[in-house]
Amino acid sequence: QKEVEQNSGPLSVPEGAIASLNCTYSDRGSQSFFWYRQYSGKSPELIMFIYSNGDKEDGRFTAQLNKASQYVSLLIRDSQPSDSATYLCAGGEGNKLTFGTGTQLKVEL
Amino acid sequence: NAGVTQTPKFRILKIGQSMTLQCTQDMNHNYMYWYRQDPGMGLKLIYYSVGAGITDKGEVPNGYNVSRSTTEDFPLRLELAAPSQTSVYFCASSYSFATNEKLFFGSGTQLSVL
């Protein structure tokens, strides 16, 4: 059974701080990893994907992948109240994509 | 460009009733998917399709059926609704199965079976 595990949270951070979201996966064959943001009552939307070891930056977001440790993370710099949402980690491709249960992030004023 | 459109947004069914969740996309994507999301759980793949006339089971297909007669449409059929099918259903599409291919999601259907 392929698994993607996340801490459900909530993770609370003050506005302007760095939020760190973590994810571990069991399938060493997974090549790609995705971070989707899901606002309450809405559909998931892609924030970032990563498939190479190391860091990938896009604006305030940085995804990190460590295949040896089977670990993926998402850093959000200068967190804003609008970042408050559930963040879903997913690993794999196409019909083999496995989602984690999501981490709820709350950015407090 | 509407993207992925799902109907209805909400529905209440009685046990044993049947219904079809509609999904259509206007991006000319070959790949389409149906997921369900239970509270506090990750998205689970129900069925997927790689093109018109081709469908296959995902992780949780029991109690559901699909068809894909056109590239645009991918309806999900519940034949005998059960309380265990209470969930939020998302239709999604993608251009391919490539390693960096993103999923485009519809707005979801919240289904309650009572």
pLDDT digits (tens, 9 = 90+) for B71-112: 999 999 998 999 999 999 999 999 887 766 889 999 999 999
Token pair for B3: 């993207």
Among B72, B70, B71, B76, CA closest to B36: B76
- Give how far B96 is from chain A: nearest CA, Å: 7
- Give how far B112 is from chain A: nearest CA, Å: 15
Q: Is B58 on the interface with A (CB under 8 A)?
A: yes
Which of B66, B101, B107, B109 would best serve as a mutation to test chain A binding (most A beta carbons within 10 A)?
Answer: B101
Around A79, how many Cα atoms within 13 Å sit in the side-chain half-sphere? 22
Interchain pair B31, A93: CB under 8 A:
no
Supply the pLDDT for residue A47: 95
DSSP B2: -
Q: Is B61 on the interface with A (CB under 8 A)?
A: no
Interchain pair A43, B33: CB under 8 A:
no
Q: Which residues contact A88 (CB under 8 A, 6 or more apart)?
A: A6, A35, A36, A37, A38, A44, A99, A100, A102, B42, B43
Token pair for A50: 């990563």
Q: Specify the 3-state DSSP secondary structure of B14.
A: coil
Q: Is B5 on the interface with A (CB under 8 A)?
A: no
Which residue from A4, A44, A95 is facing B45, i.e. has the nearest CB? A95
Q: Which has the minimum average pLDDT: A24-33, A62-71, B103-112?
A: A24-33
Interchain pair A88, B106: CB under 8 A:
no
Supply the pLDDT for residue B99: 63
Which residue from A51, A94, A99 is facing B42, i.e. has the nearest CB? A99
Q: Which has the minimum average pLDDT: A93-97, B62-66, B104-108?
A: A93-97
Q: Is B112 on the interface with A (CB under 8 A)?
A: no
Comparing alpha-carbon positions, the chain A residue that sits nearest to B104 is A45
Q: Is B14 on the interface with A (CB under 8 A)?
A: no
A31 sits in the region (left: phi over 0; alpha: psi -120 to 50; else beta) called alpha
Interchain pair A94, B56: CB under 8 A:
no
Query: What's the mean pLDDT when you consider all of chain A?
Result: 93
Q: Which has the minimum average pLDDT: A23-32, B7-16, B59-68?
A: A23-32
Triad A57, A60, A65: Cα angle to 5°: 35
What does DSSP say about strands A61-66 and A11-14: parallel, antiparallel, or unpaired? unpaired
Around B97, how many Cα atoms within 13 Å sit in the side-chain half-sphere? 12
Query: Using 50, 70 and 90 to split pLDDT, how confident is the model at A55?
Result: very high
Do the beta carbons of residue A23 and residue A88 sit within 8 Å?
no
Residue B4, Cβ neighbours under 10 Å: how many?
23
